[in-house]
A and B are shown apart, each in its own frame.
Chain A
Amino acid sequence: MNVVLSNPEEGTTREQELIAQVQRGQAELFYELVRPYERRVYAAALAILRNEADAEDAAQEAMLKALANIRQFRAEARFSTWLIQITVNEALMRRRRERTRMTEAIDDHRDDEGEYTPRDFADWREIPSEALERKEVRQKLAEALSSLDRKYREVFVLRDMEQLNIQETAEALGISVASVKTRLLRARLMLRDVLAGGWEQGWFSRLPFEKGTKPW
């Protein structure tokens, strides 16, 4: 997720310039401004809506809203965070609208109070990031993520994939900081267990791990 710029300082300055230009009315520069974040914006919408077409539409709509409200952006905030928060709002709004129509089961009651006990304690080894070059691995990770309950998945995506901080995640989802921490803990531990199980099934087996070790 870390967007590596050849010179981060320079990148930020360019971004600030672009923001100022768009705020002065050069709307045609807006796409250049949001382009580095388009993937994250999409992922935020997808985490909430769980449907590619809906997520894309919500992401586009959110970017139009961001453009329309660009003058409200204050330089103290991170631009990426601001974009993601707008996207999360848009996606949540759509889901609420959908809910009232579909009366889908709501899994949004209280956080599970019981403590989560890890199931797998195998030896671990760091998974090299090259593993992500393999589509199969990315797919398994995506599947594991989507197996989480909504409330855990959303917090995990915003904090660990979108890189919002705990406070920003809480604000974006309209929940308390304590809830974010509780859900984040659970999400991380559950994913770890799910993926350790995946190792047992062999989908990491072609990775260059030492014999007899597990990724975790």
Chain B
Amino acid sequence: MVVNCQQVWKEISNYIEGDVDAGLRAAMDEHFGACTRCKSVLEGTRNVVQLYSDERMIEVPTGFGRRLERRLAHGARVRPSTWSTWSAWLVPVAALALIAGGLRWANSLTVPHPLQSEHAQPGRNIPPDMVVVVSAGAKDFHVPGCDVIHNKDKIRTLTAKEAIREGYVPCVRCMRKYLQIASISQASSEPVGELSPSVEAEDRARSR
């Protein structure tokens, strides 16, 4: 078997791989012995394979191993499959929470005006017809005679319902029992319906 240069070039990669049959190998060996050009191609190609197979040819970015280790440690705790299950649940759950929260918030907005105070605690169980007082320049409405009424000389009297509609918020002192802060047990033990606020207010006013 005799091979020419073209045939050698075509098979040179397989030759390096050891992937040629014995007959072809012998013919190529003979050719390399006689042809300096093909010998040059063979050795150059071997050089290429040799150089690129060296591990030093692979340069990884600084910190690559450390970052991989960290991500693996994280992934070992939170497997991608676990996370996808979680995230699949999280989206609708979060959406429901938002909707529920939004509805609740919207329901609490029984006032046409914006609340006048950022600390607004819309009183839930305040009897609508309860007589309350507000004063100019203030944001709260009070039981008449409350200690913390500002501008007492400029108060006006109205019902709780009206005060709420105008954007006033209940005073956290005198209206405490109607608010959902800090005194839930007290509020629940004293049903609002049984209270007689106007009488209570009168009592207070009288006691002063």
Contacts and interface: CB of A to CB of B under 8 A. Distances in A.
A122 B68 contact: no
Interface in B1-47: 6, 9-10, 12-14, 16-17, 19, 36-37, 39-41, 43-45, 47
A2 interface: yes
Chain A interface helix/strand/loop/mixed: helix
> How many residues of B sit at the interface, in one of the four size bands?
35 or more
A145 B52 contact: yes
A48 to B, nearest CB: 14
B50 interface: yes
Contact of B64 (A2, A42, A127, A192): A42
Contact of B76 (A30, A38, A56, A120): A30
Nearest to A55: B61
Contacts of A117: 9
B73 A185 contact: no
Contacts of A166: 17, 19
B59 A138 contact: yes
Contacts of A31: 68-69, 72-73
A56 B64 CA distance: 7
A122 B40 contact: yes
B52 A60 contact: no
B113 interface: no
Interface in A46-95: 52, 56, 59-60, 63-65, 67-68
A146 to B, nearest CB: 12
B51 A132 contact: yes
A158 B49 CA distance: 12
Taking chain B's interface residues, is the majority helix, strand, or loop, or is none over half, making it mixed? helix
A141 interface: yes
Interface residues of A, number: 58
A123 B40 CA distance: 6
A129 interface: yes
Contacts of B57: 1, 132, 138, 141-142, 161
Nearest to B81: A68
Nearest to B11: A185
Nearest to A137: B51
Given A116-B9, A127-B47, A185-B12, A121 B36 contact: yes
A38 B68 contact: yes
B68 A126 contact: no
A49 B171 CA distance: 66
B75 interface: yes
Contacts of A35: 65
Interface of B: 6, 9-10, 12-14, 16-17, 19, 36-37, 39-41, 43-45, 47-61, 64-65, 67-69, 71-73, 75-76, 79-81
Given A115-B10, A116-B9, 19 more contacts: A1-B53, A43-B58, A56-B64, A64-B72, A68-B79, A118-B37, A124-B47, A126-B43, A126-B47, A126-B50, A141-B51, A156-B52, A160-B52, A161-B58, A163-B53, A166-B17, A185-B12, A189-B9, A189-B12
